[in-house]
A and B are shown apart, each in its own frame.
Chain A
Amino acid sequence: MALENSGVPTVAVHTHVFARLVKSVAQANGMPTTRQAFVLQPIVGKTAAELRAYIEGDDPVTNRPFMQEIIEGLTQHLTDADLKGVSFDRSTPRLLEADTEENLQELFMDNHWTDYLPIVLPTEERVEQMLTGTSHGHDEIVGRLRPTYFRELWEYTVEKVAVNAVMAGARPEYFPVILALAASGVTARSSSTTSWSTIAVVNGPIRNEIGMNSGIGALGPYNHANATIGRAYGLLSQNLQGGSVPGDTYMGSLGNNYNYTATFAENEERSPWEPFHVQHGFEATDNTVTSFFGGWYTQAGFGPRDTWQEKFRHCLAACEPFSGPILVLDPLVARGFVERGFATKQKLIAWCAENACLSAREYWDNQWTQTLHRPHAVAGIEPYASRLKAAPDEIIQFFEPDQIHVVVAGGETQGAWKMINGMLQGGIKGMKRGEGIISIDEWR
């Protein structure tokens, strides 16, 4: 659409599963008649001959010859609609028309405003009560979110965040944590085909003040604060960013269970290491929440036992090389690593970075290293350029230390650990010292 604005007639080619999405993006950009042509999904893995057949075949959306769509898209005279585009106001009301509880529950579900579990209806009284959890004004802008980078950013106030917090069943004392997550600028409802989720980790004294669980079952459904803060993050993301509707504003092929709720606290009291936020420059008395964008893969094990190094190497090699892991370690595991000489988290992270290895052939045989890393490699940017020059069987290290994180959680009933995909992301407000780590205290 930027090329059209520069006066260049353009046709965008997409695969057919994105038809609804690209039409709604064109509409939201005021250019609903943008010329588009479609080929079958997928492109990845298809031979040159198969792709040529796509080009010589029919557009699967319009059932007209694909190349006819292309040529007419560049040469056919414009209509009145093409010449003016579409302007409209999509503002949303503050309150909905009064109705019964049953009808409102149905309305929220029909409008894709829920996660398909029952919600607490956000009455004026409940929202007012939630707003007592912060000193910030109702109308203060908290931030902006969108399902993916090419969509428009939606904006929201403290009150709108409170509405979603009520729906999730959260309590006012959790509200500063929820506001901090809303301010992160990191959505918990990404529309990426890679079914991401966003995992949030809370640090600081507030964990105990609001009764979060960092012990037995920390990652499970065994605590009101953990469960509802995570759920609120998901609901506020989908509703405040303009939706998370399959085929339109959500395209994750498999979906992700972490999207229901994925918030827990670090077990700072039982960890032998510095808390996560202290590693990143905060004081132990500060309260923070960290958004890790990921949740795509999870690996797990026990120990550390004599062969832990082999197990870790296998698990690291099985991580997606474009997206690093959070090592979530039970305190028993963390202390086991201290006994093996890892006096700090950073030492364990350094070992993992050195031992996250693949052959160049495996590293590059990945649609996302091809899409994300290869352009950098071709442009001569390191470390990607050296990886591209490597012989197919040459072993390459593919994680930098800052792509790996360590958090201690769990109740010491077993020496259990997980490697959960999670990238530390930047936010737009309330940030200090440590990108992606958001101050909760600023939202009290």
Chain B
Amino acid sequence: MTKYTVHDPRGYPPEVTGKRLAPRLESLDGKILYLVDCLFDNSEVFMEQLRRWFAEQLPAVTTRIIKPRESWVDDPDMRKRIAADGDAAILGVGL
């Protein structure tokens, strides 16, 4: 059987550099938790329910709902604000 040498059709991916996760909290009590509404349709309803869950089940956690300036675009100002006065964040949720 004839054998053929052929090209690999794939492009060149960027090199992957490992990044570490941020240190975790001992507890959420007394902490400020940002709930980031990523602006997908109905995600604000989900985030509001998440806020209520924390208010009822873990009232020692302060939650703040925050939204980026537009969908699918990084919002450095929003990230800066969360990093400045937030202790943790939950992002969500699409489709």
Q: Are B42 and A46 in contact (CB under 8 A)?
A: yes
Q: Are A85 and B11 in contact (CB under 8 A)?
A: no
**Which listed residue, B1, B3, B19, touches A1 by the CB 8 Å rule?**
B19
Q: Are B93 and A11 in contact (CB under 8 A)?
A: no
CB-nearest residue of chain A to B40: A371
Q: Are A92 and B26 in contact (CB under 8 A)?
A: no
Known: A12-B91, A30-B19. A98 touches B49 (CB 8 A): no
**Which listed residue, A8, A367, A374, touches B88 by the CB 8 Å rule?**
A8
Q: Are A7 and B83 in contact (CB under 8 A)?
A: yes
CB-nearest residue of chain B to A148: B72
Beta-carbon contacts under 8 Å, B32-58 to A: 33-34, 39-43, 45-46, 48-50, 52-53, 57
B26 to chain A minimum Cβ distance, whole angstroms, is: 7
Q: Are B10 and A75 in contact (CB under 8 A)?
A: no
Contacts of A223 in B (CB 8 A): none
Stretch at the interface among A156-164, A170-178, A418-426: A156-164
Q: Per-residue 0/1 for A409-422: is the Cβ within 8 Å of any B Cβ (1 yes, 0 no)? A: 00000000000000
Stretch at the interface among A233-241, A277-285, A387-395: A233-241
Q: Are A156 and B4 in contact (CB under 8 A)?
A: no
CB-nearest residue of chain B to A167: B9
Contacts of B50 in A (CB 8 A): 55
Q: Are B18 and A51 in contact (CB under 8 A)?
A: no
Is B65 in the interface zone, CB < 8 Å from A? no
Contacts of A123 in B (CB 8 A): 4-7
Q: Are B16 and A122 in contact (CB under 8 A)?
A: no
A233 to chain B minimum Cβ distance, whole angstroms, is: 14
- Name the prevailing secondary structure of the B interface residues: loop
Contacts of B69 in A (CB 8 A): 375, 379
Is A350 in the interface zone, CB < 8 Å from B? no
CB-nearest residue of chain B to A46: B42
Q: Are A51 and B95 in contact (CB under 8 A)?
A: no
CA distance A22 to B86 in the complex (A): 24
Is A402 in the interface zone, CB < 8 Å from B? no
Q: Are A5 and B94 in contact (CB under 8 A)?
A: no
CA distance A74 to B28 in the complex (A): 8
CA distance A18 to B94 in the complex (A): 9
Contacts of B2 in A (CB 8 A): 100-101
Known: A87-B16, A372-B71. A95 touches B91 (CB 8 A): no
CA distance A341 to B67 in the complex (A): 48
CA distance A94 to B49 in the complex (A): 52
Measured as residues with beta carbon below 8 angstroms from the partner, the interface class of chain B is 35 or more
Contacts of B39 in A (CB 8 A): 371, 374-375
A423 to chain B minimum Cβ distance, whole angstroms, is: 15
**Which listed residue, A67, A78, A235, touches B9 by the CB 8 Å rule?**
A235
CA distance A3 to B24 in the complex (A): 13
Known: A4-B22, A44-B42. A70 touches B9 (CB 8 A): no
Is A359 in the interface zone, CB < 8 Å from B? no
CA distance A174 to B50 in the complex (A): 55
Is A137 in the interface zone, CB < 8 Å from B? no
Q: Are A9 and B24 in contact (CB under 8 A)?
A: yes
Q: Are A9 and B7 in contact (CB under 8 A)?
A: no
Stretch at the interface among A33-41, A255-263, A431-439: A33-41
**Which listed residue, A84, A149, A160, touches B72 by the CB 8 Å rule?**
A149
Is A2 in the interface zone, CB < 8 Å from B? yes
**Which listed residue, B5, B46, B72, touches A96 by the CB 8 Å rule?**
B5
Q: Are B72 and A240 in contact (CB under 8 A)?
A: no
Known: A10-B88, A100-B1, A123-B5. A75 touches B22 (CB 8 A): no
Q: Are A94 and B83 in contact (CB under 8 A)?
A: no
Q: Are B15 and A74 in contact (CB under 8 A)?
A: no
Q: Are A51 and B46 in contact (CB under 8 A)?
A: yes
Is B74 in the interface zone, CB < 8 Å from A? yes
Interface centre among A8, A27, A93 (most CB of B within 10 A): A8
Q: Are A96 and B6 in contact (CB under 8 A)?
A: yes
**Which listed residue, A34, A82, A87, touches B17 by the CB 8 Å rule?**
A87
Q: Are A3 and B5 in contact (CB under 8 A)?
A: no
In the complex, 7 of the A-B residue pairs with CB atoms within 8 angstroms, ordered by the A residue number, are A55-B50, A71-B28, A75-B27, A122-B7, A124-B5, A153-B14, A240-B10
A residues whose Cβ falls under 8 Å from a Cβ of B: 1-15, 18, 27-31, 33-35, 39, 41-48, 51-52, 54-56, 67, 70-71, 74-78, 82-96, 98-101, 104, 108, 113, 121-124, 127, 145, 149-150, 152-157, 159-160, 163-164, 167, 193, 235, 239-242, 367-368, 370-372, 374-376, 379
Closest 5 CB pairs of A and B: A85-B18, A13-B92, A240-B11, A367-B41, A156-B11
Beyond A92-B11, A124-B7: 4 further Cβ-contacts under 8 Å?
A30-B16, A31-B20, A95-B5, A167-B9
